[in-house]
Amino acid sequence: MNDMRLTERAVTEKAKMSARKVQVYYGSNHALKDVDVDILDKTVTAFIGPSGCGKSTFLRCLNRMNDTVASARVEGKIEMDGHDIYDTRVDPVQLRAKVGMVFQKPNPFPKSIYDNVAYGPKIHGLTRSKAELDEVVETSLRKAALWNEVKDRLNAPGTGLSGGQQQRLCIARAVATGPEVLLMDEPCSALDPIATAQVEELIDELRSQFSVVIVTHSMQQAARVSQRTAFFHLGYLVEYGETGTIFTNPSDPRTESYITGRIG
């Protein structure tokens, strides 16, 4: 299976986002040190590592979500398509439209299913008519593999769905904005195994359209869905490479210890 992906990767090997020497501080706490990563286009990249290792922190740097935390400070350089996203001229709002995000806990807005999905296109002005918007909502829900379950109750509140459905709704919501990169912060940690499987399947499908970066606790999940894996430990990026290599032949002893369950 991995062989197949290797050939695919050869076609799309082009850095969509690249990070160099990224440091993050929370107040006086140096949370992330010297991180260099290239996120490839149309690839699923997994960030793994024990709790508190900085993987989520790094994820939140990629769409400047850390801006909303008053005490956070980011140094170093993160580029997207050659532009520094921390350039003062960059509007984080525009950036986030391109780099969407799905969170650990499903967080549908207390609105109808339709309005949840339509929220992004509406605020960014992506559609010109109601018909277009309807179409965006439908395709997004289809992409999130939710359409068949909710098409008859688009006006029901999004909070009334089951956990797995809620998370797929959040994915549909993120997809509807037409992102180039989709960040997922442990998207399955609050879901049961069946819902997890559905979401994982979805991630694999989304890969055909844009890069997906997923933070996960579960090494099995990283192995199942990702092509590239980065291992974080104590704020350092320890190892980054092809998923197959990381799991079968890690070069760093810490990676091996983590994968074999000795640290974590």
Q: Which residues contact other proteins (rule: CB under 8 A)?
A: 63, 65, 68, 70, 80-81, 83, 85, 87, 89-91, 93-98, 100-103, 105, 107-111, 119-120, 123-128, 132, 135-140, 143, 170, 173-178, 180, 183, 209-210
- Tell me how far apart the terminal alpha carbons of the chain are, to the nearest angstrom: 27
Taking the least distance from each CB to other proteins, the nearer of 210 and 232 is: 210
Contact 187, 171 (CB under 8 A): yes
Residue entry with tokens 């197949």: 4
Smallest distance from other proteins to CB 262, Å: 33
> Residue ranges of the alpha helices (H) in 84-237?
92-98, 113-124, 130-143, 147-150, 163-176, 193-206, 219-225
Contact 107, 169 (CB under 8 A): no
User: 237-242: which pairs have CB atoms within 8 A and are 24 or more residues apart?
Assistant: 237/34, 237/35, 237/36, 237/37, 237/58, 238/49, 240/36, 240/37, 242/2, 242/6, 242/9
Smallest distance from other proteins to CB 223, Å: 26
Strand-by-strand arrangement of the 29-40 sheet? 83-84, 72-80, 15-26, 29-40, 236-242, 228-233, 44-48, 211-215, 181-185, 99-102
